[in-house]
Amino acid sequence: MVENRPAFTITAHAVLALGVAFMVAPVWLAFVASTHPGADFLSGRLPLWPGPDFVKNYGAVLSQGVSKAGAPAIAGMLANSLVMATLIAVGKIAISLLSAFAIVYFRFPFRVAAFWIIFLTLMLPVEVRILPTFEVVSQLGLLNSYAGLTVPLIASATATFLFRQFFMTLPDELAEAARIDGASAMGFFRDILLPLSRTNIAALFVILFVYGWNQYLWPLLVTSDPSYYTIVMGIQRMARAADDTPLWHLVMATTILALLPPVLVVVAMQRLFVKGLVETEK
């Protein structure tokens, strides 16, 4: 603020308060809906304050699921999502660290070619190669498995670039000193590069965990066995079924459970999250 303009400051507060209301309201109303009996808001006159059925509704979806809508218990789907998000985040970080290390600290013949092949992944999101990728995964027998859910998604150009950029900013003297002291390449990686990359790894983990948790199309393709459903893809079955039967209170309870873990991760690690977001786009 350059000059003192009380009227403008009040306007700014008002606009931001409205903005926050616009952003928060959908989730708040979903939470309210998830704590009422299903028949309470059939006409659209949703109460604005939570009702008495919090324990009942959440208990029901966690243990039994919404069987009328053909969805299994939510607890299992939450566990699958957690496994998938963690494996994707850890896998992406691990293979990107290794390949960035190879590309920056070694001179091998197909180095440039390797870099460009990794770069290609940016241009080929799952959405544009749906069918052939599905065929490959099914030929490899990876349908309905955690490997099928995660491995095809863990190649990452952005993570590799991020680590490459970071390694390029480290002084050459580090590697020089390590070599003089007789460290092997992997020793240098483990004892010097890894500890230095800690913040970057943490920031990237936040972004990638959210990315993995929120996958939708891919789990939809590779899982047909309900015991491998993830929560985000599982929810669409319910939303469609809720058109016919008054299940919205249970669907909204599921929705809240599905969005809570990644939102908590982002809120708890906001600083790292913003860092990760800005860095991966450079």
Partner 1 sequence: MLTKRVTFGGLVLPTLLVMPQLAITLVFFVWPASQAIYQSVMQEDPFGLKREFVGLANFERLFANEAYLQSFGITAAFSLGVAALALTLALLFAAMADWLVRGARVYATLLIWPYAVAPAIAGVLWWFLLHPTTGIYAYALSRLGLDWNPLLNGTDAFVLVVVAAAWKQVSYNFVFFLAALQSIPRSLIEAAAIDGAGPARRFRTVILPLIGPTTFFLLVVNMVYAFFDTFGIVHATTGGGPGTATTILVYKVFKDGFESLDLGGSAVQSVVLMAVVIALTLAQFRFVERKIHY
Q: Of 109-138, which residues contact partner 1 (CB under 8 A)?
A: 109, 111-112, 114-115, 117-118, 120-125, 127-133, 135-137
Residue 208 interacting with partner 1 (CB under 8 A): no
Whole-angstrom distance, CA of residue 161 vs CA of residue 176? 23
Whole-angstrom distance, CA of residue 166 vs CA of residue 149? 29
* Interface pick for partner 1 out of 58, 80, 101, 166 (rule CB under 8 A): 101
DSSP H helices in 108-197: 111-120, 130-139, 146-150, 157-169, 172-180, 185-188, 194-196
* Interface pick for partner 1 out of 19, 59, 70, 141 (rule CB under 8 A): 19
Among residue numbers 213 through 272, which ones bind partner 1 (CB under 8 A)?
Answer: 213-214, 216-217, 220-221, 232-233, 235-236, 239-240, 243, 246, 248, 251-252, 255, 258-259, 262-263, 265-267, 270
Residue 49 interacting with partner 1 (CB under 8 A): no
Among residue numbers 133 through 172, which ones bind partner 1 (CB under 8 A)?
Answer: 133, 135-137, 151-152, 154-156, 160, 167-168, 172
First to last CA, the chain: 29
Q: How far is the CB of 56 from partner 1 (least distance, A)?
A: 19
Residue 5 CA: distances (Å) to CA of 2, 16, 18, 51, 91: 9, 17, 20, 43, 51
Any residues with CB less than 8 A from the CB of 82 and at least 6 apart, and which?
Answer: 213, 261
Q: How far is the CB of 198 from partner 1 (least distance, A)?
A: 20
